[in-house]
Amino acid sequence: MLECKEKECWDQFLQFIKQRCSTAEYENWFRPIVLLSSTEELITVEVPNIFVREYLLDNYKQEFCDFLPEKFPGEPAIEFVIAKKIDTDTVKVEPVITETDAEQALQKLKLNKLYTFSNFIEGPSNQFVKSAAQGVAMHPGKSYNPLFIHGGVGLGKTHLLHGIGHHIIKANKRLNIACITTEGFINDLVDHLRNKTLDKMKRFYRSLDVLLVDDIQFLQNRMNFEEEFCNTFESLINQNKQIVITSDKPPSQLKLSERLIARMEWGLVANVAAPDLETRVAILQHKAELKGLKMPHRVAFFIAEHIYNNVRQLEGAINRLSAYCRMMHQEVTEDIAEQTLGEMFEETPKKSVTIEGILTSVASMFNVKVSELKGTSKEKKIAFPRQVAMYLAKEMMNDSLMKVASSFGGKTHSTVIHAWKKVAKQVETDETLRRQILMTKRNIEA
């Protein structure tokens, strides 16, 4: 049982924070915290994942210290327990929905049947984004809103978007959902404008509980349509209705109005990166199993070593291999994989690392602009990614420090060394940062 006094401290802390930050920030980062125990010496809380812990400690340490016990001055005595993962696909749902209803809903929504959470293989490159997607699916409108998923082609953005749709229609048939491509939205708008039925369209979109929008990059340079989209967006968000958007770039790099970019950055922006070797092997094995193809681990490993940028290509490889082996009545072996897939194994020579490449990848990972990285802002959300970019430039490029420093808008070489030392030290103990750097490196080299 919690001691009343300490529990009160915690409540006061939440009240205080509520006044200090935006509703979206509160809903994203504080609402999911569960207070487990509380004494005069130590507060123990449960958070959904490691990122929430990092975010809280990075941004609210001082506030924790003001309200809660301290280990020593400036260091809050707070223990974070990471919540056990719930596989949302196995969460029991009430059988309120019949098979045919579900089928109809699926067809109406045009969700790909295979794009479920349980078919989405998790690894370090997509763990965070998958857990955010599951959070949204479990509590639409109450956790991260909007959820903005960005990443390169064929890395699973549409899969996750549909995964959210699948989960929601299974768990709550009363919710009104639409899953659209941005092209679909534009076509809809054109049709309704032509038929003078725009009000009908507005009523439809603005009465939704959940709006899933794929590939928002196609809204770029479509000024007339952007405004209507932005109005729909605001109307839904203001009613706490859930919006999820996917894109090939983070919001700050999209050529859209500042108003829409700011709205999209309101909730949680999550990146899905190219999977590492182990995850690629697991994806191959999973896809082979779905096709009923026997795929020895050795062969999966061999293919995964040669196809690394795009999960869709991994799928293509499985399809080709499976067709060949069926036709020729052969078992899957490394030799056959090499024969049939050889031309897909482009040994692309490693791209030479450029400062622009580093800046673009870091900007994308940390959701800042390249110009901000080159600028002078001391704001932590920009200054730290800038230090990471300097660290990577020193690690990955052969250029002199002077040259690296000048690429950052004329900084001195000691600034670069300082940044490099700081980040190198932090990487040793900070698991999140280590992963972020690993993913950024892979992006730079891809």
Helix (H, G, I), strand (E, B) or coil at 108: helix
Closest CB to Mg ion among residues 296, 316: 316
Pairing of strands 75-76, 70-72: antiparallel
Name the binder of 437 from ligand ADP, Mg ion, none, CB < 5-8 A by kind: none
Q: How far is the CB of 331 from Mg ion (least distance, A)?
A: 34
Closest CB to ligand ADP among residues 293, 358: 293
Q: 150 near 249, Cβ under 8 Å?
A: yes
Closest CB to ligand ADP among residues 279, 387: 279
Token digits of residue 340? 């049939």
Instruction: Considering only residues 129 through 188, tell me which ones interact with ligand ADP, judged by CB under 6 A.
Output: 151, 153-159
What are the C-alpha distances in Å from 185 to residues 60, 141, 210, 212, 412? 39, 21, 15, 11, 49
Instruction: Considering only residues 158 through 187, tell me which ones interact with Mg ion, judged by CB under 5 A.
Output: 158
Name the binder of 302 from ligand ADP, Mg ion, none, CB < 5-8 A by kind: none
What are the C-alpha distances in Å from 416 to residues 224, 300, 381, 405, 430? 45, 42, 18, 6, 20
Q: Mask 307-326, x = binds ligand ADP (CB under 6 A)?
A: ----xx--x-----------
Name the binder of 280 from Mg ion, ligand ADP, none, CB < 5-8 A by kind: none
The candidate with the shortest Cα–Cα distance to 148, out of 35, 253, 296, is 253
CA separation for the pair 158, 201 (Å, rounded)? 24
Closest CB to ligand ADP among residues 115, 233: 115
Token digits of residue 382? 């920009």
Relative orientation angle of helices 334-341 and 311-328, to the nearest 10 degrees: 110
Tell me the chain's radius of gyration from C-alpha atoms: 24
Question: In the bound complex, which residue of the shown chain has the CB atom lying closest to ligand ADP?
Answer: 156
Instruction: Considering only residues 235 through 294, tell me which ones interact with ligand ADP, judged by CB under 6 A.
Output: 283
Q: How many CB atoms lie within 10 A of CB 240?
A: 13
Q: Mask 181-220, x = binds ligand ADP (CB under 6 A)?
A: ----------------------------------------
Closest CB to ligand ADP among residues 38, 322: 322
Closest CB to ligand ADP among residues 159, 166: 159
Please state the length of the chain. Answer: 446
CA separation for the pair 363, 219 (Å, rounded)? 21
Token digits of residue 274? 């190219």
Q: How far is the CB of 272 from Mg ion (least distance, A)?
A: 11
Q: How far is the CB of 385 from Mg ion (least distance, A)?
A: 26
Q: Which stretch binds Mg ion (CB under 5 A): 150-158, 219-227, 353-361, 416-424?
A: 150-158
The verdict on 120 binding ligand ADP (CB under 6 A) reads yes
DSSP 218: G
Q: At residue 335, what is the residue type?
A: D
Would you tell me which residues interact with Mg ion (CB under 5 A)?
A: 157-158
> By the criterion CB under 6 A, which residues form the site for ligand ADP?
115, 119-121, 126, 151, 153-159, 283, 311-312, 315
